[in-house]
Amino acid sequence: MLRLVGRLQGAVERAGDVMADVAGWIYLVAAFFIGFDVVSRRYLGFSSQGTTEISGYLLAAAITWGLTHALSSRAHIRVDVLLMRMPVRARAYLHTLALALLTILALLFARRAWSVIAESWELGARDTSALSIPLALPQVPWALGLTVFGALTVLMLLKACLLLLAGRPDAVDRMVASRGPVEEAEEALEAAGLAPTPPPATPGPTGSRNA
């Protein structure tokens, strides 16, 4: 059972990674799209007539497509300053509670997102741009992102419960605990082209973050 859940989780996480990459490149595309529109509107006298709307749709899809990757890389923000001072057992139970509430949020939003689409479709709702795009169209990828995110929260919650039953609170902690400031900092350094130095002799309070 645990293995099956783990395998499914792995599959959803891999899908989430790909979706996050797509989301990232969408931002780059949006930048060129908007940038080109600014220049062409001023100097060439034409515009896409719907840049505001289209970049909004791109953003909506990209936000939800990155959610899954943010969860699997433990980046979603929590206030865990007290949590991280507790023993690992208590921590594991609270991690599971946190996952349970996140699952409620994700499923609620995913469910409501599909109703929004159904509504837009039935009403034949179109946006107010000159292109008059049917709203249901950009709402589908947006809802899809929320749905995949919902799937990962369910699987992670299931796995956390199974791990608790199997008496492995430490594994729950490893799966869910936030990236500490040290871990966050290392990533910024890698990006700047510096090899991170070994962890300090007296690490600061781990777990809490302040991005």
Partner 1 sequence: MIAIAFLFVLLVVFLVMAATGTGPAVGIAELVVLSVVFVVFFFSGIYVAAALAILGLLADLAFSSRPMHAFIGQVAWNASNSFVFVAVPLFLLMGEILLRSGLSDRLYRALNIWVGSLPGGLLHTNIAACAVFSAVSGSSIATAATIGSVALPYFGKTAYNKRLVLGSLAAGGALGNLIPPGISFIVYSLFTDTSIGKLYAGGFVVGILVAALFMVYIFGYGLVTGTREAVTAVTWRQRVASLAELAPTLTLIFLVLGTIYLGLATATESAALGVIGALALAALDGRLSLGMVHSSVRTTARSTSMIGLILIAAFALNFVLSGLRLPQALATTVAGLPLPPWATMTVIILLYIALGTFMDGFAIMVTTLPVLFPVVTALHYDPIWFGVIMTMLIEIAQITPPDGMVMYVLQGMRVPPGPISDVFVGVLPFLGIYALSLLLVTAFPGLVLWFVK
- 169 to 198, contacts with partner 1 by CB under 8 A? 181-182, 184-189, 191-194, 196-198
Q: Is 21 in the site for partner 1 (CB under 8 A)?
A: yes
Q: How far is Cα of residue 85 from the mean position of the Cα atoms in its chain? A: 26
- How many residues touch partner 1 (CB under 8 A)? 87
Show contacts with partner 1 in window 112-171 (CB under 8 A): 112-113, 115-116, 138-139, 142
Measured from the CB atom, the residue of 98 and 154 that comes closer to partner 1 is 98
According to CB under 8 A, which one of 73, 121, 133, 171 is a site residue for partner 1? 73
According to CB under 8 A, which one of 92, 95, 154, 155 is a site residue for partner 1? 95
- 134: β partners: 126
Q: To 5 degrees, how large is the angle CA 22–CA 28–CA 31?
A: 140
Measured from the CB atom, the residue of 3 and 201 that comes closer to partner 1 is 201
Tokens coding 49? 């007539």
Using DSSP, state whether 134 is helix, strand or coil. strand
Q: Is 40 in the site for partner 1 (CB under 8 A)?
A: no
Cα separation, 61 vs 27, in Å, equals 10
Q: Is 67 in the site for partner 1 (CB under 8 A)?
A: yes
Q: To 5 degrees, how large is the angle CA 76–CA 166–CA 85?
A: 45
Q: Is 13 in the site for partner 1 (CB under 8 A)?
A: no
Q: Is 101 in the site for partner 1 (CB under 8 A)?
A: yes
Q: Is 18 in the site for partner 1 (CB under 8 A)?
A: no
Side chain identity, residue 62: A
Using DSSP, state whether 137 is helix, strand or coil. helix
According to CB under 8 A, which one of 1, 11, 165, 203 is a site residue for partner 1? 203
Comparing CA positions, the residue from 97, 98, 92, 80 lying closest to residue 209 is: 80
Instruction: Considering only the stretches 7-15, 26-34, 155-163, 165-173, report the one whose residues sit in contact with partner 1 under the rule CB under 8 A.
Output: 26-34
According to CB under 8 A, which one of 49, 76, 123, 130 is a site residue for partner 1? 76
**CB-based contact 134:124 (threshold 8 Å):** yes
CB atoms within 10 A of CB 105: 13
According to CB under 8 A, which one of 88, 104, 131, 166 is a site residue for partner 1? 104
